[in-house]
């Protein structure tokens, strides 16, 4: 998707502070962090949101989640606690239409979310 900003991060046409990368996914720091740790984790394959993930691609979701857990450990927020957010479609506030998990931590979270 040539007009997708996250695809451009994957292709390195836009620079990002990359935390982790493999053949299937990439994790990078959010440009507008909402917590001391705010990392975005995305599949390299473009899907607009969770709504478009087909059954035969479901493994990418567990792959990303378990990598988020490892990154939380590396960032020393695993035991304190962290939040993983997957905004999906309009009313969630999703702005970038390339599925992405937010990994947030390093401060006390509140509930319910805004
Ligand atoms: P959403 O609101 O779609 O769930 O989250 C999109 C996130 O992407 C926001 O937290 C925003 O700060 C982040 N973001 C948008 N554009 C860029 C960019 O060019 N680089 C990085 N690193 N993050 C971005
Ligand atoms: Zn994309």
Residue 84 contacts residue 40 (beta carbons within 8 Å): no
> In the structure, what pLDDT confidence band is assigned to residue 108 with cuts at 50, 70 and 90?
very high
**Which bound ligand lies closest to the C-alpha atom of 48?**
2
Total domains, the chain? 1
Could you tell me the distance, in angstroms and rounded to a whole number, from the CA of residue 26 to the centre of ligand 1?
A: 14
- The domain in which residue 75 lies consists of 5-105
The side-by-side arrangement of strands in the sheet containing 101-105 is 18-21, 25-29, 37-43, 101-105, 82-85
Asked if residue 55 is part of any domain, the answer here is yes
pTM of the model: 0.98
Q: 33-36: list long-range contacts, CB under 8 Å, 24+ apart.
A: 34/102, 34/104, 35/104, 35/105, 35/106, 35/107, 35/109, 36/105, 36/106, 36/107
Nearest of 69, 80, 74, 68 to residue 108 by alpha carbon: 80
> In the structure, what pLDDT confidence band is assigned to residue 114 with cuts at 50, 70 and 90?
confident
Could you tell me the distance, in angstroms and rounded to a whole number, from the CA of residue 46 to the centre of ligand 2?
A: 4
Asked if residue 65 is part of any domain, the answer here is yes
> How far apart (Å, rounded) are the C-alpha atoms in residues 54 and 68?
21
Asked if residue 113 is part of any domain, the answer here is no
Asked if residue 82 is part of any domain, the answer here is yes
> How far apart (Å, rounded) are the C-alpha atoms in residues 24 and 51?
19
pLDDT digits (tens, 9 = 90+) for 43-71: 999 999 999 999 999 999 999 999 999 99
Asked if residue 13 is part of any domain, the answer here is yes
């Amino acid at each position: 998707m040539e007009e997708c900003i996250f695809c451009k991060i994957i292709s390195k046409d836009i620079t990002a502070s990359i935390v982790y990368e493999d053949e299937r996914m990439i994790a990078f720091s959010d440009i507008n962090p909402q917590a001391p740790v705010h990392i975005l984790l995305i599949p390299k394959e473009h899907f607009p949101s969770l709504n478009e993930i087909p059954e035969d691609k479901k493994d990418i979701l567990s792959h990303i989640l378990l990598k988020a857990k490892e990154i939380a450990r590396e960032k020393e927020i695993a035991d304190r606690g962290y939040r993983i957010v997957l905004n999906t479609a309009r009313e969630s506030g999703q702005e970038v239409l390339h599925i992405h998990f937010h990994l947030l931590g390093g401060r006390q979270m509140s509930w319910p979310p805004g």
